[in-house]
């Protein structure tokens, strides 16, 4: 069986943090689900990139 996890449609940090936390819970509950682990990895990478962009934007404004 294949599981599909839908990531947030926005680029808001809070939305991606919620998604990451949900995926962490999902991986903890179902450690053998490749799709959950893959979605968690994607969420963590995306969140890291969004935080970097957010920080770069702050530096440009200052």
Please tell me the predicted confidence (pLDDT) of residue 60: 75
Q: What is the pLDDT of residue 22?
A: 97
Whole-model pTM: value is 0.86
Averages of pLDDT over runs of 10 residues in the chain (62 residues) are 91 96 97 96 97 87 66
Tokens representing residue 1 in the block: 């069986």
How far apart are the C-alpha atoms of 35 and 2, rounded to whole Å?
7
Let me know how long the chain is: 62
Instruction: Give the model's pLDDT for residue 62.
Output: 62
């Amino acid at each position: 069986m294949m599981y599909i996890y839908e990531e947030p449609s926005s680029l808001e940090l809070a939305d991606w943090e919620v998604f990451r936390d949900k995926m962490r819970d999902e991986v903890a509950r179902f450690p053998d689900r490749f799709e959950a682990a893959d979605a968690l990895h994607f969420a963590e990478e995306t969140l890291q990139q969004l935080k970097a962009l957010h920080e770069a934007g702050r530096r440009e404004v200052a």
